[in-house]
Structure 1
Amino acid sequence: MTSSTDNTEPTNSGSVKDDLTQGDRTGESQATDNNASNANSIENEAPPEPSDGTDEGPVEPEEEDLRNQFLRVMADNENLRKRTEREVAAAKKYGPLSFARDLLSSIDNLEKAIALIPENKSEMDETLKNILIGVDMTGREVASVFERHGISKIDPSGEKFDYNLHQAMFEVPTDEVEPGTVVQVVQLGYLLHDRLLRPAMVGVSKAAQPESSESVED
């Protein structure tokens, strides 16, 4: 009896040990499979793409309205800036318009006086000669100032009549030039840059009337 019992116990102990070893192996195998599965799952997950800030999702109506209002304000400010620059430039360019126009009558009188100065001054009184020289120098200085500020004369002798720059005072019948040609300048005109200070007062040619048969018989 004792011998039978002793032989049985080692057999049971070896079976339990085998069962534990097999269980450990099974657990290790499951753990390895789980780790491999997790690793595969991580590898299969695509990494998030970096955002460039443009994909902000749907825009709310309130945000869209604010954005449109901001763009309109920016456009209005830009238009105001450009208009202000144009007005400032025009004020600098055409600022002396009224002042220059008021000077024209004085310039006309000065030029009339200069036109009366004789070319030969040798026989003149010295005082009168100096006065005339001063008048001539004043006229030259005024012309220089006018040119410096963009004021130019309009002297259209021999040119075609331009209603933008000339004012016809009378017509002259003639066959020597084409009709509509300026044949006489009564008063010079002036421009301030591209703006008219005063039109030139002119006489304009027109076709001469043929002589009547009665005048030929006479």
Structure 2
Amino acid sequence: MTTESNENKSAEEIAAEEIIAQAEEQVEEQHEHAHEAISEDQEKINELELALAAAQSTVADQKDSVIRAKAEVDNIRRRSAQDVEKARKFALEKFAGEMLTTVDNLERALQNIDKEDEKNKGIIEGIELTYQGLLASLEKFAIKAVDPQDQPFNPELHQAMSMQEVDGVAPNTVIAVMQKGYELNGRLIRPAMVMVSKAAPAVDTSA
């Protein structure tokens, strides 16, 4: 009876061991399948990360290209605007130079005509109207006269044609304007030709 019991226990143990072995095999297979699934998922993640990095690199390159292209367009626009401005200024300077000759001639005519002669009254009025109209037109184009009579001599705006001693007048004062100067948009295009006062020579009192 004891032998049968031992045999029965042995059979049960064998059966149990087989069940445990099968269970361990199933668990191990599940682990392997899970590991394979995880590996596949990780590979997909790696592929997606690489694709994302490549896309980000492409976007960065395209962004740099767009920025460079925009900067180049801005530079071209700025250079074009500068060229147009230079051309406009040159055209105005040329126009002003032509008109200033006419202004000078009208001023000389008014200075030299005999204003006391009644016969010249109509001529004087006509010259005056033409002269004032021309000055008004020049002012519309920001062309203004430099007339420094009785002002301190400024070498940046005036050209001294001669110097003369004048009693009661401080040295370096403009005592006569032989030809007015002109500015265009605040920039000198012709200096005023002037006569300037000078100091009297020092008197030697040692004798």
Query: What TM-score range do you get, normalising by the shorter chain?
Result: 0.5 to 0.7
Unaligned runs of 5+ in 1: 1-7, 57-66, 214-218
Match of 1:163 among 155, 163, 185: 155
Q: Deviation of residue 81 (structure 1)?
A: 4.6
1:100 correspondence with 2:92: no
Q: Distance in 1 between matches of 2:29 and 2:86?
A: 83
Q: Distance in 1 between matches of 2:152 and 2:55?
A: 65
Instruction: Tell me what 1:32 maps to.
Output: 27
| Closer, same or farther: CA 79–175 of 1 in aligned 2, 3 Å | farther
Q: Distance in 1 between matches of 2:123 and 2:34?
A: 112
Q: Distance in 2 between matches of 1:150 and 1:182?
A: 25
Q: Distance in 2 between matches of 1:52 and 1:158?
A: 78
- The question of whether the paired residues in 2 share the 8 Å contact of 1:168 and 1:202 is answered with yes
Report the TM-score when normalising by structure 2. 0.64
Match of 1:113 among 93, 96, 109: 109
Q: Distance in 2 between matches of 1:198 and 1:28?
A: 109
Deviations 1:131-185 (A, max 9, x none): 4333222222111110111211011123222222211111121453432221221
Unaligned runs of 5+ in 2: 58-63
1:84 correspondence with 2:84: no
1:143 correspondence with 2:139: no
Q: Deviation of residue 204 (structure 1)?
A: 1.0
- The question of whether the paired residues in 2 share the 8 Å contact of 1:175 and 1:207 is answered with no
Greater per-residue helix proportion:
2
Q: Deviation of residue 102 (structure 1)?
A: 2.6
Instruction: Tell me what 2:197 maps to.
Output: 205
Report the TM-score when normalising by structure 1. 0.62
- The question of whether the paired residues in 2 share the 8 Å contact of 1:169 and 1:201 is answered with yes
Bigger Rg over Cα: 1
Q: Distance in 1 between matches of 2:76 and 2:95?
A: 29
Matches within 5 A, 1:63-78: none
Give the aligned residue type for 2:94. Answer: S
RMSD of aligned Cα (Å): 4.3
Q: Percent identity?
A: 30
Instruction: Tell me what 2:61 maps to.
Output: none
Q: Deviation of residue 203 (structure 1)?
A: 0.8
**Number of residue equivalences:** 183
